[in-house]
Structure 1
Amino acid sequence: MQPTRVIGLMSGTSVDGIDTALVDISGTDLDLKVELLSGETYPYTPQLREQILQLGAGTAVSMAELAAVDDAIARAFAQAAQNIQVGHQAATLIGSHGQTVYHRPPQAVGELGYSFQLGRGALIAYLTGITTVSNFRTADIAAHGHGAPLVPRVDAYLLSDTQEERCIQNIGGIGNVTYLPARSDDWLSQIRGWDTGPGNSLLDLAVQHFTNGAKSYDENGDWAASGTPCYPLVAQWLGHEYFHLPPPKSTGRELFGVTYLHQCLQDSAVYELNPADFLATITELTAASIVHSYDTFLPRMPHKVLLCGGGSRNIYLKNRLELLLGKVPVSTTDEFGLSAAFKEAIAFAVLGYWRNLCIPGNLPTVTGASQEVLLGEIHGNYG
């Protein structure tokens, strides 16, 4: 059977740009195989990025303005899909996560959550001439799930092992973990996953704050590495109720965004931290919240932690994680055959592929949904 050529499109809470993966996919579950043919990140225009960040921060807009941003994101996604195919045989399917601008987990048992992604799939399908699957989160939410994280089922079939227990730790704007037990007869039901808390979101916002927008992130964590963490502040911030909520749980910039950063800056005033010390302290919060999450909610610590996402390139953050995890080795998914930079985009290519084959994509033990469901809405290519 010939592999299916699929494009995965993803822009996360960091709003860095559109991570785009062109992949060949075959198989369904334990025989699932993915070959990355090309991966690129296509930046948003500065104007569109600022509009997305403002929406994510809760800025009020008219319906006409919201529609314009929705269309602009869809056009940017469609252009990314067209660009990634240059020099390659054409894809026949797109899995597009879109751009999250609002995420509200269920507030109580029996209540529904809500998650809003812009970049409508129908327009992407029309502009590219390729069948497009989008709106992946809504079906899980309708089944009383969080609609997040959705990649653990993909992680299970691409990164699990027959002997080792592994944690796949994505560090985007928000961090999320997939706990993979060693494969056995009932291993799928033992998989767990949740959002661990802030990833790069607070770090990036702090860098932008200290540089008046001249820099958008701390490359390699070099600035933070030149400072000294304030451990009493880290302990104070770890008291936040989110870190103590049991899974299933999910979060976003609505919680760990601009307002939270300003609270952190206010908390730090008494310690008179310079920018490097503050960045070191925020980095420590990201690392410590991940390890606290493992200590508190995992059945046991894993044999290995595999990093992916933009934060996997932050050398200082990786070093802090290694130190806090002690004897648990930390590497990246690159070392296990799956691109750390484009893993999330690859995951949504797989989820689109599964939807096209009518294979469920969620794990109820992760999202809290009442049942497995088909994820995503299919939009024809209008050819």
Structure 2
Amino acid sequence: MTRVIGLISGTSVDGIDAALIDVTGTELDLKVELIAGKTYPYPPNLSAQILAVCGGEKLSMAALALLDDQIACSFAWAAQEIQNNSDRASLIGSHGQTIYHRPLGKVISPNNLAYSLQLGRGDLIAQITKIPTISNFRAADIAAGGEGAPLVPKVDAYLLSHEEKYTCVQNLGGIGNVAYLPPRSQENWLDKICGWDTGPANSLLDLAVQHFTSGAQTYDHNGIWAASGTPCDRLVEQWLHQDFFAQLPPKSTGRELFGSLYLHQCLADMEPYELSPADKLATLAELTVASIVHSYQTFLPQKPDRVLLCGGGSKNLYLTNRLQALLQSAAVLTTDEVGLNGNFKEAISFAVLAYWRNLGIAGNLPKVTGAKQKMLLGDIYQSFANVVS
């Protein structure tokens, strides 16, 4: 048994998710137990700076280095806090904070490689915590010609697949992504797994709430505000013609596409319809739901028997109810209902990816990311306490 800490801050930049887990097995016999999970908010000035940089604010190299250090210190602090009253972890897997992601569809470089930058340097986390730390998970997949995302479907496959049922694991973070898991009883089932980013999830909704309340409110609790409005189906249909939704997988996206500029374009599109703020939120929520359903109908090889939701949006009752209404025959559940904590599933996944990296087990699925081969994911950093002179 190995005790591992997983750390991640997602597109919403609402805090660092930390998961302390015990891991046994390797792949088919993989088992995890969540010992502790908690979200540690960034200091307000740090989260504001991260969001500004994600939104395109220019930084000097000195300021970028300082931001990298500040994020790493926040991650290290979260790793130390999550271990309180627990046995010490022997490994940390830190995804870091994505501040820029350029998928293959937007490549302008001659080598035709994607690009993804996560801040929160693993070497500093290792030195502060005195625990070996694995970070920079996306680089190896990108070097092999992949998107570097999504990276968790292999973990989903071993923790959430079903012997007989077709399963979709749908993450509703700032951006939505899906892992399609065929039944384990099928021959070569692992080779049939696919996945991709489906489009916006909480990112546009949270930005809209902040816009309508001048920052007084950061999100729509349980989707209550959106549920009080009426979506404009004509606008949703118009937005679904955006190029990303028609793009064949593998594909990934982020705030670079579905961020503030996209929201303001949506708000401009709404002006002729004289919608209330509640109607506007309902329409943006319907875009999230409709883009997921459109993605399933267009790209899945088989309709799912069940859809397992995770991420912050899985707590949004309006989103989950609309998904169930549109998916009809598929049972819409949360990963919590099948034994895996949905709030910390991404953090758990990066703990597992670090565990695999330490054992020399590849973490990516080339069919999902577009990489040319399976790769060991992550750079390993030892602390001084663990380096033999």
Q: Same fold (TM over 0.5)?
A: yes
**1:107-161 CA distances to partner (integer Å, 9 max, x unpaired)?**
3696100000000000000000000000000000000000000000000000011
SS of 1:344's partner is helix
- 1:234-383 alignment runs, 5 A limit: 234-383=236-385
SS of 1:233's partner is helix
TM-score (norm 1): 0.99
1:122 corresponds to = 123
- Percentage of identical aligned residues: 66
Measure, in 1, the Cα distance between the counterparts of 2:313 and 2:242: 22
1:94 corresponds to = 92
**1:172-208 CA distances to partner (integer Å, 9 max, x unpaired)?**
0000000000113311110000000001000000000
Alpha-carbon shift at residue 327 of structure 1 (Å): 1.4
Q: Root-mean-square deviation (CA), in Å?
A: 0.9
Moved more, 153-162 or 182-191: 182-191
Measure, in 2, the Cα distance between the counterparts of 1:346 and 1:300: 28
Q: 2:217 aligns with which of 203, 209, 215?
A: 215
Measure, in 2, the Cα distance between the counterparts of 1:267 and 1:46: 32
Q: 1:54 aligns with which of 52, 55, 66?
A: 52
1:192 corresponds to = 194
Q: Is the 1:220–1:315 contact (alpha carbons within 8 Å) kept by the matching residues of 2? A: yes
Measure, in 2, the Cα distance between the counterparts of 1:240 and 1:355: 37
Measure, in 2, the Cα distance between the counterparts of 1:215 and 1:80: 25
Amino acid of the structure 2 residue aligned with 1:47: N
Which runs of 4 or more aligned residues in structure 1 lie more than 6 Å from their structure 2 counterparts after TM superposition?
A: none
Measure, in 2, the Cα distance between the counterparts of 1:228 and 1:29: 46
SS of 1:369's partner is coil
Measure, in 1, the Cα distance between the counterparts of 2:19 and 2:301: 34
SS of 2:104's partner is coil
Q: Is the 1:110–1:144 contact (alpha carbons within 8 Å) kept by the matching residues of 2? A: no
SS of 1:97's partner is strand
1:137 corresponds to = 138
1:156 corresponds to = 157
SS of 1:35's partner is strand
Q: Is the 1:219–1:314 contact (alpha carbons within 8 Å) kept by the matching residues of 2? A: yes
TM-score (norm 2): 0.97
Q: Is the 1:230–1:281 contact (alpha carbons within 8 Å) kept by the matching residues of 2? A: yes
1:104 corresponds to = 102
Measure, in 2, the Cα distance between the counterparts of 1:16 and 1:68: 20
**1:39-83 CA distances to partner (integer Å, 9 max, x unpaired)?**
000000110001100111111111111111110100000000000
Measure, in 2, the Cα distance between the counterparts of 1:273 and 1:185: 51
Measure, in 2, the Cα distance between the counterparts of 1:157 and 1:81: 25
Amino acid of the structure 2 residue aligned with 1:25: V
Measure, in 1, the Cα distance between the counterparts of 2:93 and 2:187: 30
Q: How many residues align?
A: 381
Stretches of structure 2 that go unaligned for 5 or more consecutive residues are none
1:4 corresponds to = 2
Alpha-carbon shift at residue 300 of structure 1 (Å): 1.5
Measure, in 1, the Cα distance between the counterparts of 2:207 and 2:274: 19
**1:308-360 CA distances to partner (integer Å, 9 max, x unpaired)?**
00000000000010111011110000011100000000000000000000100
